[in-house]
Amino acid sequence: MKLPSSLVFYIGNGVVKAAVVVHEKAKQPRIISTTIRNLPHFDERDREHLEKRILFEFGELVREFKSENFKDLASKDYKLKIEGAFVLVSSPWYISETSVIKIKEQKPFLVTDSLLSNSRENIVKAYRDAHKVDVAILEQKIINVTLNGYPTNNPLKKKAETLDMTIFTSFVRKSSADQIRDIIDTNFHAKEISIHSQSLVSFTVISDTWHDLSQYIIADVTSQLTELVAVRKGALSEAYSFPRGKQFLVKAVADKLKVATEVAESLLHMKNEGKIEEELGKKLDTALASAKKDWLESFSESLAVMSASSSLPNNFFLFAPKDVVHIFSDYITCEEYQQFSFAEGKFEVKSVGVPDLMPYCKIENGATGDLSLMIGAIFNSKMKSL
């Protein structure tokens, strides 16, 4: 009997990943094979050129994954039935926007499906016209609706003179999405290929896991970017990113100490393990202090934008590689931010690691326990069960 399974891919700005996930009824998903390809630092300012280079690397990963991992699984007597592919993309592969739609009429009007659909379509058209680029929608969710000033969860078939609606939309370049699907389909002929944003997937997994919190910020620093996603009243509110994630730290250390990026990464690992020589540790701390100043500047600007409409939650869920999780956690909770009036209180950070997700996703021997792939597997399994 063949095991129902799916492919899970992650495309970031500094890394691409792949996994085979087995989905058995009434059981948590099992990751049985993984491949992770760390990319060189692309110092490209032209986004189109950068996307082409990363998609080339993604194509290489998929081909390697097919030729090596599936051969290895066959040797272990795995019989798989691949039912589809799920792709998780991080910034800047997608852009998220929060839009407010306001409708006011002299006489009461009926709220219909077509009225809501037209409003959503107008958001896409406005984005295309403003950016002069063809985009596809990854996700589009209505965050809240008020009729005549009163919030409602079910506006359809109700009459009102005023309607205010907030919609969260994630856009992706259509050409990029098409190429991602082509690469996967060429190698695996998957029946269904779905692409989702890191914002929605992380939010869904966290909301299912930590039920008691309805307001928080997700901070993802796993690659070359820092991505911030605000959640208010249990719903996605907005997303923002800036080009200073883990790889920014690595490059800052490499430049300051005049060493290769591989050496800089090794030094960060040694610091995290508490195994770095004292004098070298001081030099590393000096380099990190300089990087901290730059990171906090971008972080401050992001929070100022995100707090424009309402105060920010004080809880952070931090997604970070374990060798830099303490560094970024300290950055977020540092004293420089305690005076900000737009926060609900002192920032508190919960770092999300592989152990937190182990009750919801199993890792087989030989596979890597990777946070992004686990989140993708959990989300995909949930979508399959709906």
Per-residue CA distances from 163 to 72, 142, 154 (Å): 57, 13, 12
Half-sphere exposure of 384 (CA within 13 A, CB side): 26
pTM, two decimals, is: 0.88
Across the range 251-268, mean pLDDT stands at: 91
Indicate the average pLDDT of the chain: 89
Q: Provide the pLDDT for residue 342.
A: 55
Across the range 331-340, mean pLDDT stands at: 67
Centroid of chain to Cα 78: 31
State the Rg of the chain over Cα.
Answer: 22
Q: Provide the pLDDT for residue 142.
A: 87
Per-residue CA distances from 352 to 105, 220, 252, 274, 288 (Å): 47, 10, 25, 21, 22
Across the range 103-130, mean pLDDT stands at: 92
Residue found by looking up tokens 């407010």 in the block: 100
Give the separation between CA 59 and CA 67, rounded to whole angstroms: 12
From 35-44, 107-116, 285-294, the region with the lowest mean pLDDT: 35-44
Residue 116, pLDDT above cutoff 60: yes
User: Is residue 228 a contact partner of residue 306, using CB atoms and an 8 Å limit?
Assistant: yes
Domains observed in the chain: 3-92+175-204+355-385 (3.30.420.40), 94-173 (3.30.1490.110), 211-352 (3.30.420.40)
Residue 13, pLDDT above cutoff 80: no
Segment 280-298, tens digit of pLDDT? 989 999 999 989 989 999 9
Residue found by looking up tokens 């009163």 in the block: 150
Segment 180-217, tens digit of pLDDT? 999 999 999 888 999 999 888 999 999 999 988 899 99
Q: Provide the pLDDT for residue 344.
A: 61
Q: Provide the pLDDT for residue 48.
A: 77
User: Which own/partner pairs from 128-135 qualify as long-range (CB within 8 Å, at least 24 positions apart)?
Assistant: 133/173, 134/173, 134/174, 134/175, 135/171, 135/172, 135/173, 135/174
Residue 96, pLDDT above cutoff 90: no
